[in-house]
Amino acid sequence: MADKLKVSIVGASGYSGGELLRLLLAHPRVEVCEVTSERFAGKFASKAHPNLRKRTQLRFCRMDELKPCDLLFLCLPHGRAMEHIDAFRALAPRLIDLSADFRLNDPGEYQRWYGKPHARPDLMTEFVYGVPELHREEIRGASLVTGAGCNATATILALYPFFKKGLADPERTVVEVKVGSSEGGNAASDASHHPERSGVVRSFMPTMHRHCAEIYQELGFGQTIRVYFSATSIEMVRGVLATCHLFLREPLEEKDVWKIYREVYGKEPFLRIVKEADGIYRYPEPKLLSGTNYCDVGFQKEKGSDRLVVMSALDNLMKGASGQAVQAFNLMNGFEEALGLEFPGLHP
């Protein structure tokens, strides 16, 4: 099958690596050549990802065994991609990095939010921020693309139309994300120990979440903005719900809000406006999105005030990581944007 792209995944034993592998194995235009894991080297991929039993005979190799390929996905822990970036570029002409290393353009912002200097400030502006709804054309032509934070993606997609159009008070937005346990990765800890983690409503980051940096970068449009962000862990494995309280600069009714979202997102393959007058799924619900690449957005305008509450939901491992990476990958290669991302999700 000569028309298949040869791709490899670096750091494939983690959750985003495994999700990427699941997607790419089923992608009609991809041949997955190698998957790396230092911990699992020599073992079958299905040892780390038991859902892939009988789906692949791939075994993990070590990073230093990687062979050249057409495109390399990087799923390493934060801080590692920027250390090894030259080696990766030598292996493949195109890279998609799912870590946080190249999401920010500004070394000062990186230092501020990550608490240390960036290892390769020269490359920071080379990477395109891989949210297609904001940067589709840039992604098409890019050879270096970075994924986006899961909470950042949910927040940015909820707020983007209003910040772009200047319809929101730029300094009053409050955002609270409810997140699942898979956001923390696959390393066990006291905090993730089931008897402790089960059933929590844990205010793990009331302020200062690093994804704020991405939100500021993408929603600023040249002016000073403020997003008061908090993150709470709840009983959930996959999923994010961002509840965004934005304050309108001018009186809009719900039909106006509908119009704005339809105008901006009407043709997006993975954005759905979810707002129903009755029923039990009136607003975006992350549990319906497990395994899908959708970001569902819904809203309610408060009567008698200028508050617009926007809810956005996604699967942090899909639209918040690997699914969005495949979406960007499709764009980079001129494939149909939804290729390999067709799973609609389950109910109930």
Catalytic residue among 33, 69, 150, 295: 150
- Which range of residues in 91-99, 138-146, 206-214, 216-224 is near a copy of itself by CB under 8 A? 206-214
**Residue 125 main-chain phi, psi, to 5 deg:** -85, 0
**Whole-angstrom Cα distance, residue 43 to residue 315?**
28
**226 and 282 Cβ atoms separated by less than 8 Å:** no
User: Considering the rule CB under 8 A, would residue 186 count as an interface residue with a copy of itself?
Assistant: yes
- Which range of residues in 29-37, 63-71, 83-91, 202-210 is near a copy of itself by CB under 8 A? 202-210
Instruction: Convert 118-141 to b/e letters by CB count within 10 Å (16 or more is b).
Output: bbebebbeebbbbbbbbbeeebee
**Whole-angstrom Cα distance, residue 196 to residue 212?**
27
User: Considering the rule CB under 8 A, would residue 234 count as an interface residue with a copy of itself?
Assistant: yes
User: Considering the rule CB under 8 A, would residue 291 count as an interface residue with a copy of itself?
Assistant: yes
**Whole-angstrom Cα distance, residue 165 to residue 334?**
29
- CB closer to a copy of itself out of 222 and 348: 348
For residue 302, give the DSSP letter.
P
**128-129 β-sheet, strand order:** 60-61, 30-36, 5-10, 71-74, 94-97, 144-146, 128-129
Please select the residue that binds a copy of itself; options are 288, 295, 325, 328, rule is CB under 8 A: 288
Active site residue 150: yes
Q: Which of residues 299-328 bind a copy of itself (CB under 8 A)?
A: 299-303, 305, 307, 309, 311, 313
User: Considering the rule CB under 8 A, would residue 348 count as an interface residue with a copy of itself?
Assistant: yes
Tokens of 218: 């993408």
**Binding pattern for the stretch 3-42 against a copy of itself, x by CB under 8 A and - elsewhere:** ------------x--xx--x--xx----------------
- CB closer to a copy of itself out of 128 and 288: 288
User: Considering the rule CB under 8 A, would residue 206 count as an interface residue with a copy of itself?
Assistant: yes
Q: Which of residues 235-254 bind a copy of itself (CB under 8 A)?
A: 235-239, 241, 243, 245
Q: Which residues are catalytic?
A: 150
